[in-house]
Structure 1
Amino acid sequence: MDIQFSLLDQALIRYRTSTRQERHATLPELLAAFNADEVSDFPALRPHQRHPWHAFLVQLAAIALHAANRETPFETAAEWHAALLALTPDDSDGAAFALVAPDDRPAFMQAPCERGASRTWKKRIATPDALDMLVTSRNHDLKAQRMVHAEAEDWIYALVSLQTQEGFLGAGNYGISRMNGGFASRPGVGVVPNGRWGKRWARDVQLLRRNRDQIAKTFGLKKKSGVALVWLQPWDGASSLSFSELDPFYIEVCRRVRIQAQGETLSAIATGSKVVRIAAKERCGVTGDAWTPINVAEGKALSITAKGFDYKLASTLAFSSEYEPTIARTLLDDDGKEGVFILAQGITRGQGKTEGYHERRIPITAKMRRLMLKQKGDEIAEAAKERIGEIADVRKTLWSALCALLGNGDQNVSDDTKNKANHFARAFEQGEDRRFFDDLAREIDADDRKSEEHDQWLLALADRASGVLEQAFVAGPRSAERVYRARGAALSRFHVGLRSEKAPPRMARVLKQRNEARKAAQSESFEEVSDGSN
């Protein structure tokens, strides 16, 4: 079998420039374009593949630069070509960066096996989306096996996605080391600077290079001569690599798969393994990954639930000390003062399925940036925590009022009524989720954020909850007698609840002040009318 579809020598990867011009590039040409920040996006890259593709390109560049003893990225494609080829001295013909190569040679993201071994493998895969890890979703997010007219780049992205973020899928199908268990995920959290793909890539490469020795020391990885490109190592499916053998920037593979070519048409063939490729179960995903948050108290990598990066988790990851900040979350002076945000990405996995791809952008204003650079992010975390608690209190009061409305004002509430109330209360919270960080930013940026800005937000929060309650009137009882009773009970429970001793003291205070101001205004208006009539 010949070496075919080389990423080093064939322009297999499409990208678009800032002027929306579409170009085809080799892998070295792409890295050179990144260095010039010319890449706007990748037309064939699917959303759930964005993080693994970014992480792969950052890790690969960091590995190549370290091997070349160079601090800054190469500027030309020829330099990148030489640097990447130097990483595979036993395969100087570039087989390790080709999609198709003989079984006993490494191919791109494909570990070598015995010559001719793949002929006995049973699992044949006709399309790249069937190879990609999201096939386990059973069409939950994307229809499976639809890419019948796939190009080589589709297989490139599918391989990177499978080999660097897949989990456990039954005996013989083991997952990666960089996640907390086989049913977890590999989330990515990091700062995105003002710029395009190359800007973020360059900053993350810089951060990895800067933290290399610390990663090796903290996580017990090899500073020198460690296994960096795991797919170069032969794998018979019966042996695992020790975690301590790895390079701090290691790029792993977790499945035994080989790409095959029939003319210009590609397909894949795969088989299971008896053991995981990297023996690191006891590490619970704590591997020195630059983008994976680690829970400080538990000592485990983050695993997202079906809620994804809701406002509670996102604010914790962005500002709180509950999770160790990822290397990529470090703010740099040249990130820019505007247009900077923290990006959280990940797939929720379950037993034999996925529960959605999740992505969240958390804007970082100029003032937030200054606080974070001065290690004062706790001020932002405290403001976010206070708001989260107040939203929860208002949601609870709203839910109680909804139960009164939908239960016809009765004291005993059925499960069906509770479920209906949950529907409306959830809609309220989802609305607050969508606007949470914009509202938080306004408070942080305000000169007097401890009083006026927060007070105005509290009033608006109460008004939005009241609006949801009124919208629910249409789902309440229809008869005149019951309508009066149910709506009266709901409104009473809502307004009294926000002003009771159990309500947030600040909420009760600002509502009282607004009511007094309105009464005073009405009184003045009445006096003016009375004076005019006299």
Structure 2
Amino acid sequence: MKYNLLTEPLITADMAKSGRTVLSLPAIFAALIRDEIADFPALRPHQAQAWHCFLAQLGALALHRAEQNIPPHTMQEWETLLRGLTSDFPNDAPWHLVGADADKPAFLQPPEPVGIVYTGRAETPDTIDMLIGQKNHDVKEKLYQESRPEDWIFALISKQTGDGFNGAGNYGIARMNGGSSSRFSMGLCPLADKTSAPTPGARLTHDITLLLSTRASQLSDMAALDFPERGGKTLLWLTPWPLEERQGLCLNTLDIWFIEICRRIRLHGEGDRLIAKTGTSKAPRVDAKTQKGVVGDPWAPVNVKDRKSLTLGPSKLDYHHICDWLFGGNWQAPAMIRKADMSDTNQNWALIIQALGRGNCKTYGYHERTLVLPRQSAARLITDAQALHTLSQDLIKDIGELKKILGHAIAIAAIDGRSTSPDKDKYAAAKPWQDGLDLMADRHFFPALWDMLPAYLHKDYAAQDEAKHRFFRRLIKEAQTLLNTAIETVSAAQFHLRARSRAERVFRARIGKHFDWYFSNDNKEANDAAA
């Protein structure tokens, strides 16, 4: 019971044309580069980010070691490349899920140090994963009573490359800002056309190729950390981890794309199943605390002022935050965006954002969002960031005003229309409908932004206004619908008529004042609705 990832088919894949199959790790790489894989059905949603980054780093490391720049298309070539990273272990020990020899590494598992006492035991792979449930109310623990090797593979990758601090002796990864932070991922994927979805193969091929073609500039960006051009440690589970070691590995001994491990874990066979034993450490595996996560992670935005990597926390991937991260001026875009070649103006792109929200001994859920970037829009994320910032702030300001108008009207309804100046505490009744309006704005925000940008750049202000008005016509109409629903809910039945009359009157008056174009003669739809 070794489960060699290089030679055994262990990972289930849904092929785009031929259905479900099980593949070895080299076969996975080859099929992805050929863009033949549609999905990995055993991969849990929160593991997707770690899986992609792991494959991209591993593929880039293997190709760099072999002095190659083009990802191959065959399983045999990938098997040779991956073995090249572990040439000191001719029996493939670092690729065995279960290590036969305690003094040898196993997959994402360092050699067992002499005298280690394992303090933890996990009988299911989700028990070692990085999710932290609140009294088992979130994602349930111990669901995988009849787990397969691939479940352990995905859990190990998620844990070892993405976990934070979880109590004494349980340190987190170097690629996050502090133990209660999270690893944030933001990158691009080329699309076949504007309506197609990003595929895991297209994304992996793009990221591996980009990593290799921009390695020199990545090293230059992180020159202060003195990453070596060649010879740095790549797979950190290959290196012994002494039991009493109180100083982690120095960054200047590692390759810039190093694949880390953060915990002592060792898988064993018990009968016909696998179990994991876990131990603690005296220090983090990598000595990088002072770097605040800024260690050359190519998918991580970096705070310009504080020099720290982005942490999601309880925040959402909404238009407010995305605009700040991309072109607010507070964050440096990750290398996978800054260094991407977006010169082909006929290419559509997808911006993919992934992160597990984390806090102090808790997780806030996994978040993923894909934004389609029409032709030329991707390059403009960098070249026209200031213009996008100006336009986005204008939209955000007016969305905020519309939410206030809706809130005022609903607060009037909540007091049955007795006054048009309700007390502040009555505005709380409007929040669910304001949140609904914000969700609608979020859904259409970025398409409106892309529509406005060319006109803004060409100083065609009439076209810019028309693009903006299209967005707000839809949003104001939605606000009217929400107001109608809210009136029926928050006002007493016997006062519906008065509540509706006064709430709608104030709503229309404030809309006409702030959005003075909305009730103009050429806006027939709005005038018909008002009538």
Give me the TM-score of the superposition, normalised by structure 1: 0.88
> Aligned residue for 1:526?
none
Kept after mapping to 1: 8 A contact 2:487/2:499:
no
Partner of 1:110: 109
Assess, with a 3 A threshold, how the Cα gap between structure 1 residues 127 and 6 changes in structure 2: closer, same or farther.
same
Q: Distance in 2 between matches of 1:429 and 1:386?
A: 15
Cα displacement string for residues 436-493 of structure 1 (whole angstroms, at most 9, x for unaligned residues)? 223434445778641222223223322221221111011223253x444433442343
Aligned amino acid, residue 85 of structure 1: R
2:432 to 394, 419, 423: 423
Matches within 5 A, 1:84-483: 84-101=82-99, 102-115=101-114, 117=116, 120-136=117-133, 138-194=135-191, 196-219=199-222, 220=225, 221-237=227-243, 238-239=245-246, 240-329=248-337, 330-333=339-342, 337=346, 340-369=349-378, 371-372=380-381, 375-408=383-416, 409-410=418-419, 411=421, 413=423, 415=425, 417-444=426-453, 449-478=463-492, 480=494, 482-483=495-496
Change (3 A) 1:320 1:139: same
1:134 partner SS: coil
Matched-pair contact (CA < 8 Å) for 2:133–2:139 = no
Letter matched to residue 251 of structure 1: I
Query: Partners in 2 of 1:423 and 1:520 — Cα distance?
Result: 27
Question: Residues 27, 379 of structure 1: CA spacing in aligned structure 2 closer, same or farther, 3 A cutoff?
Answer: same
Distance 1:139 1:359, change over 3 A: farther
CA RMSD of superposed structures (Å): 2.7
- CA deviation after TM superposition for structure 1 residue 315, in Å: 3.2
**Counterpart AA for 2:179:** G
Contact 1:104 1:114 in 2 (8 A): yes
1:527 — aligned with what?
none
Unaligned runs of 5+ in 1: 523-534
Aligned counterparts of 2:257 and 2:126: Cα–Cα separation in 1: 27
For 1:372 and 1:477, locate their aligned partners in 2 and report how far apart those are by CA, in whole Å. Answer: 46
What is aligned with 1:532? Answer: none
Contact 2:230–2:255 under 8 Å retained in 1:
yes
Tell whether the 8 Å contact from 1:140 to 1:355 is kept in structure 2 after alignment: no
1:387, distance to aligned residue in structure 2 (A): 1.4
Contact preservation (8 Å) 2:182, 2:313: no
**Counterpart of 1:133 in 2: which secondary structure?**
coil
1:218-267 deviations in Å (ceiling 9; x for gaps): 32122222121111111135331122222110111111111111244111
CA contact (8 A) 2:57 2:208 kept: yes
Residues of 2 paired with 1:245 and 1:376: CA distance? 38
Q: Deviations over 1:311-344 (max 9, x none)?
A: 1122344455432222222543598946521010
Aligned equivalents of 2:528, 2:142: Cα separation in 1 = 66
Task: Give the paired residue count.
Answer: 509
Change in CA separation of 1:106 and 1:458 when aligned onto 2, cut-off 3 Å: same
- Match for 1:271: what amino acid? G
Helix, strand or coil for the counterpart of 2:413?
Answer: helix
**Contact 2:448 2:468 survives alignment (8 Å):** no
Partners of 2:498 and 2:208 lie apart in 1 by 64
Measure, in 2, the Cα distance between the counterparts of 1:122 and 1:113: 14
For 1:167 and 1:359, the matched residues in 2 are separated by: 19
Q: Is the 8 A contact 2:353 2:368 kept in 1?
A: yes
How far, CA to CA, are the matches of 2:492 and 2:173 in structure 1? 56
Q: 1:419 offset after TM fit, Å? A: 2.8
CA drift of 1:137 comes to: 5.3
Query: Residue 340 of structure 1: SS of its match in structure 2?
Result: strand
| C-alpha spacing 1:43/1:184, structure 2 compared with 1 (3 Å) | same
Structure 1 residues 452 and 323: alpha-carbon distance in aligned structure 2, compared to 1, 3 A threshold: same
Matched, 1:498 2:519: no
Alignment counterpart, residue 45 of structure 2, candidates 44, 47, 53? 47
Residues 463 and 521 from structure 1, CA distance in 2 versus in 1: closer, same or farther, beyond 3 angstroms? closer
Equivalent pair of 1:173/1:273 in contact (CA under 8 Å): yes
Separation in 2, partners of 1:332, 1:519: 44
What is the alpha-carbon distance in structure 2 between the residues aligned to residue 138 and residue 273 of structure 1? 26
Which string of whole-angstrom CA distances, capped at 9 and with x for unpartnered residues, describes residues 66-123 of structure 1?
1111111233322222222222233221111111113221111111122573xx3121
Picking from 514, 518, 525, the partner of 1:511 is 518
Q: 1:462 to 1:27 in 2, by over 3 A?
A: same
The letter for the 2-side match of 1:209 is: L
Compared with structure 1, are the counterparts of its residues 521 and 178 closer, same or farther at alpha carbon in structure 2 (3 Å cutoff)? closer
Q: Which moved more, 1:258-267 or 1:433-442?
A: 433-442
Any unmatched runs of 5+ in structure 2? Answer: 192-197
Aligned residue for 1:528? none
Q: Could you tell me how far 1:148 is from its partner in structure 2?
A: 1.0
> In the alignment, is the contact (CA less than 8 A) between 1:140 and 1:356 conserved in 2?
no
Displacement after TM superposition at 1:383 (Å):
2.6
| Correspondence for 2:194 | none
Mean Cα deviation higher: 68-77 or 54-63:
68-77
Residues in 1 aligned to 2:13 and 2:312: alpha-carbon distance in whole angstroms: 30
Contact kept, 8 Å, 1:138 with 1:353, in 2: the verdict is no
What is the match of residue 81 of structure 1? 79
Residue 368 of structure 1 contacts residue 445 of structure 1 at CA under 8 Å; is this kept in 2?
A: no
User: Aligned to 1:269, what secondary structure does the other structure show?
Assistant: strand
The 8 Å contact of residues 103 and 116 in structure 1, kept in 2 or not, is answered as: no
Q: Following the alignment from structure 1 to structure 2, what is the Cα–Cα distance between the partners of residues 284 and 371?
A: 29
Measure the CA separation in 2 of the matches of 1:22 and 1:427.
39
Q: From the superposition, tell whether residues 88 and 521 of structure 1 become closer, same or farther in structure 2 (CA, over 3 Å).
A: closer
- Contact 1:109–1:160 at 8 Å: present in 2 too? yes
Q: CA deviation at 1:50?
A: 0.8
Distance change >3 Å, CA 336–CA 353, structure 1 → 2: farther
